[in-house]
Structure 1
């Protein structure tokens, strides 16, 4: 008997899940990798709790979301990094919504400056970090792929990242490029991208902002980025109001 072979992929099915504005908004909120309660996602999407529950159920059924119960509450997070990659890729080719309020303008500014892209740093700061790592020869192209170089550097020393850490990402690539939707240039993803953001948060170089997904670079963080990689705050924030410093 001939073995049963899988058919073609149903791209339209995935597209339909993203086509609903409420689902798209909830997924976008979750792209920072953190779990959020259903009520918060409902508010972000501007829908009722019942409608949000229905949308979240469909996304969980397809394996896009993981659900965790804490008491009477359900917390949702994106379970597949590929979902974030698709959202970011679609953001690159999507029209920008007009800003209609002071709050919307601030949110747009904060996200363009620095934000999480799942578990790594994106926005103008993320792009500057990627460029700085390349200029410092900490990232090299090998056979068309980005590979983290194993050598000492003040940035790695200050963040307590050892060259051996670059072998501990399992099957995940140490470094890969991710096209930034707001800058239209690359920022750093992969294991090293995630590790750098984690250590920068731990070291107090940056912090999660009040705006969902936004990252605030602290005064000490700007000083550290300039000291280790030559990243200049004024250059990064040129053309945009500067982020508030913690």
Structure 2
């Protein structure tokens, strides 16, 4: 018998990397999937450029981030989607910071209504979309498949999504779920989740909000969500 060379996973190493407040803040800013320059990440984390560079280097070395040089600037993005899932999972068991200002209260509200989770939709709207597709028996969560790819759904029709569109995601599962930290329920990830948010942006249903990761919805997006999944959009903030 061949000797067993691999041991158990060491979660303490990843936990230590995530535990630093500055690194945690940088990852939160990057959790919408977009690349950000090192200087912007340093400002968001409240650290010097040299300290930010050290933190970013550790996360690149760990394989969490990818870096691209554009002229004199370095742009960083999350290169491992599971990092965002880990952030969402940690949020489920983390204490809530007290809100000390009206601005903070608004930011908290906006994130709970709708936000990007790497490249898919989270928050109350993301959960509502997932629930609507489940109610229509469109998803096979266990097998990670779009189980009713041969049938239409008003939301998918509005966004011009068909089964063949998912080929662009290669071997990525069409359907995955994330446990939403603010709703304590699932929202849709995987290829279909990414495509849904991409088409919503392309059709200008939603746009980036003032808070990092938050999404605001246009009148067209509000009306379409109400028509296709019956979402009560009265609480959605108009972009």
- TM-score range (shorter-chain normalised) is over 0.9
**What is the deviation of 1:167?**
4.5
Q: How many residues align?
A: 236
- Residue aligning to 2:28: 28
- Residue aligning to 2:7: 7
- Residue aligning to 1:147: 145
Report the Cα distance in structure 2 between the residues aligned to 1:58 and 1:157, rounded to whole angstroms.
44
- Residue aligning to 1:46: 46
SS of the equivalent of 1:188 reads: strand
TM-score of the pair, normalised by structure 1:
0.90
Contact 1:68 / 1:76 at 8 angstroms: preserved in 2? yes
Contact 2:140 / 2:175 at 8 angstroms: preserved in 1? no
**What is the deviation of 1:171?**
1.6
CA displacement 1:69-91 (0-9 Å, x = unmatched): 11111110010011111111111
Report the Cα distance in structure 2 between the residues aligned to 1:68 and 1:168, rounded to whole angstroms.
23
Stretches of structure 1 that go unaligned for 5 or more consecutive residues are: none
Q: Report runs of 4+ in structure 1 exceeding 4 Å deviation.
A: none
Please state if 1:199 is matched with 2:186.
no
Report the Cα distance in structure 2 between the residues aligned to 1:20 and 1:191, rounded to whole angstroms.
31
Instruction: Say which is worse superposed, 187-196 or 37-46, in terms of deviation.
Output: 37-46
- Residue aligning to 1:212: 212
Contact 1:136 / 1:229 at 8 angstroms: preserved in 2? no
Please state if 1:56 is matched with 2:86.
no
- Residue aligning to 2:174: 174
CA displacement 1:129-160 (0-9 Å, x = unmatched): 1111122332245xx34532211223222211
Stretches of structure 2 that go unaligned for 5 or more consecutive residues are: none
SS of the equivalent of 2:169 reads: coil
CA displacement 1:198-217 (0-9 Å, x = unmatched): 00000111111121111111
- Residue aligning to 1:75: 75
**What is the deviation of 1:3?**
6.9
- Residue aligning to 2:84: 84
Report the Cα distance in structure 2 between the residues aligned to 1:157 and 1:39, rounded to whole angstroms.
41
- Residue aligning to 1:138: 138
TM-score of the pair, normalised by structure 2:
0.93
**What is the deviation of 1:226?**
1.2
Contact 1:132 / 1:231 at 8 angstroms: preserved in 2? no
